[in-house]
Copies of this chain bind each other. A is one copy, B any other.
Amino acid sequence: MSNISYISNTDREREEMLSAIGAEDVEELFSAIPEEVMLDRPFEIPEGMSEMELVELAQEKAERNLSLGEIDSYLGAGSYDHYLPAIIDHLVLRQEFYTSYTPYQAELSQGTLQTIYEYQSMICELTGMGISNASLLDGGSAVGEAVLMAARFTRSDKVVLSSTVHPAYRRVARTYGYPQDIDFNEIEMHEEEPVVKVDEIIDAVDAETAAVVVQYPNFFGAIEDIEKLNDALEDSDTQLIVVANPIALGMLTPPGELGADIAVGEAQPLGNVVNYGGPYLGYLAIRDDRRLLRKMPGRLSGRTTDDEGNEGFVMTMQTREQHIRRERATSNICTNENLNVVMAAIYMGAMGKQGLQDVADHCYQKTRYLKDQLAELEGVEIVNGDNHFHEFWMKTDKSAAEIEKGMIERGILPGVDLSQFGEVEGLLVNVTEKKYKEDLDNYVSTLEVVLQ
A: residues with CB less than 8 A from B are 2, 51-52, 55, 83, 85-86, 90, 93-95, 355, 358, 434
Contact = CB atoms under 8 A, between A and B. Distances in A.
B434 A52 contact: yes
Contacts of A355: 2
A445 B294 CA distance: 73
Given A90-B93, A93-B90, A93-B93, A52 B83 contact: yes
Nearest to A89: B93
A404 B421 CA distance: 55
A434 B85 CA distance: 34
Contacts of A95: 90
A85 B90 CA distance: 19
Contacts of A55: 86
A85 B358 contact: no
B358 A2 contact: yes
B85 A51 contact: yes
Contacts of A94: 94
A95 B90 CA distance: 9
A332 to B, nearest CB: 34
A51 B86 CA distance: 8
Contacts of A86: 51, 55
A432 to B, nearest CB: 11
A51 B90 CA distance: 15
12 contacts: A2-B355, A2-B358, A51-B83, A51-B85, A51-B86, A52-B83, A52-B434, A55-B86, A90-B93, A90-B95, A93-B93, A94-B94
A319 B272 CA distance: 52
A85 B52 CA distance: 8
Nearest to A90: B93
Nearest to A83: B52
Nearest to A94: B94
Residue among A52, A85, A95 having the largest count of chain B Cβ atoms under 10 Å = A52
A22 B166 CA distance: 60
Nearest to A362: B1
A76 B167 CA distance: 57
A167 B298 CA distance: 66
Contacts of A52: 83, 434
Nearest to A55: B86
Contacts of A93: 90, 93
A222 to B, nearest CB: 28
A434 B55 CA distance: 12
Nearest to A434: B52
A347 to B, nearest CB: 13
Contacts of A358: 2
Nearest to A53: B436
A168 to B, nearest CB: 29
A52 B51 CA distance: 32
9 closest Cβ contacts across the A-B interface?
A: A52-B83, A51-B86, A51-B85, A52-B434, A90-B93, A2-B358, A93-B93, A55-B86, A51-B83
Nearest to A87: B51
A355 B52 CA distance: 14
A183 B76 CA distance: 71
A271 to B, nearest CB: 14
Given A2-B355, A51-B85, A55-B86, 6 more contacts: A51-B83, A51-B86, A52-B434, A90-B93, A90-B95, A94-B94
A41 to B, nearest CB: 30
A74 to B, nearest CB: 17
A23 B86 CA distance: 37
A56 to B, nearest CB: 10
A439 to B, nearest CB: 12
Nearest to A91: B95
A401 to B, nearest CB: 31
A94 B94 CA distance: 7
A95 B96 CA distance: 13
A95 B358 CA distance: 30
A94 B93 CA distance: 9
